Amino acid sequence: MLKVFIGWDSGMTDVAETLAHSLKMYSSIPLDIRYLKLQELDFHRNDKTGNTEFTYSRFLIPHLCNYEGKAIFMDNDMFCLPKGDLKELDDLDMTNYAIRCRKHDQVVKTGTKMDGKPQEAYPRKNWSSFMIMDCSKLKCWTKEAAETQSPAWLHRFEPIPDEQIGEIPDGWNDLDHHDENTKICHLTTYGPWHGWTDLPQCQLWFKYYYLYKSRKEQ
């Protein structure tokens, strides 16, 4: 089964569950979906720099997988659309790569996000929000490294040679928009959980949220 780890924020549990439900709807292969719940992990950082509860725990995944096999990580504020069959990503050749991701060339203004958290601009922003990992090639991401290394060292993939960072096809991890080719929409700025309900991508998220809720209540 394909291992899929989803970021978990204790105040946004339905967001992660909605993503998981949408992934299962369209996957043609079995998925082993796990949530990075801090209360269930032996994981501790002393700094308070993370914007989410999974800012750093994502880098614990190779350790959790005993540095074996393939795993996918996804931020929780995403949802899957009908073309988003994870088999496409499972079939990608990882022979030459430790990681595959969407290499967004994203420019943001520094300041404050809509929820009051700091908005930071840095190289390779959002690359780590959706990763396919060959855990056997990521032994640099030890438990100690995830707990102690700087945000830049982790999120910019500093210990990983550039030639070992591959790409994933367009449509996966589309930021704050969707079109006919979108497979995963990532609501990085205007999530409905922060009151943005009129935008098309937020209205579409509600469709999957209500499908998840109705299935849960059965």
Cβ neighbors of 131 (< 8 A, separation 6 or more) are: 58, 72, 73, 99, 100, 101
pLDDT band at residue 122 under the 50/70/90 scheme:
low
As a whole number of angstroms, the distance between CA 208 and CA 214 comes to 10
Write down the pLDDT at residue 160.
Answer: 97
Q: pLDDT (tens digit, 9 = 90+) per residue, 40-83?
A: 999 999 888 888 999 999 999 999 999 999 999 999 999 999 99
pLDDT band at residue 26 under the 50/70/90 scheme:
very high
Write down the pLDDT at residue 114.
Answer: 42
User: Of 104, 71, 72, which Cα lies nearest the Cα of 188?
Assistant: 104
Domain borders along the chain are 2-217
pLDDT band at residue 39 under the 50/70/90 scheme:
very high
Can you list the alpha helix ranges (DSSP code H) found in 77-218? Answer: 87-90, 143-148, 151-155, 200-217
Residue 190 backbone dihedrals phi, psi, to 5 degrees: -120, 65
Fold for the domain defined by 2-217: Spore Coat Polysaccharide Biosynthesis Protein SpsA; Chain A (3.90.550)
Residue given tokens 């959002």 in the structure block: 126
Q: pLDDT (tens digit, 9 = 90+) per residue, 166-195?
A: 999 999 999 999 999 999 999 998 889 888
Pairwise pLDDT comparison (199 vs 26), residue with the higher score = 26
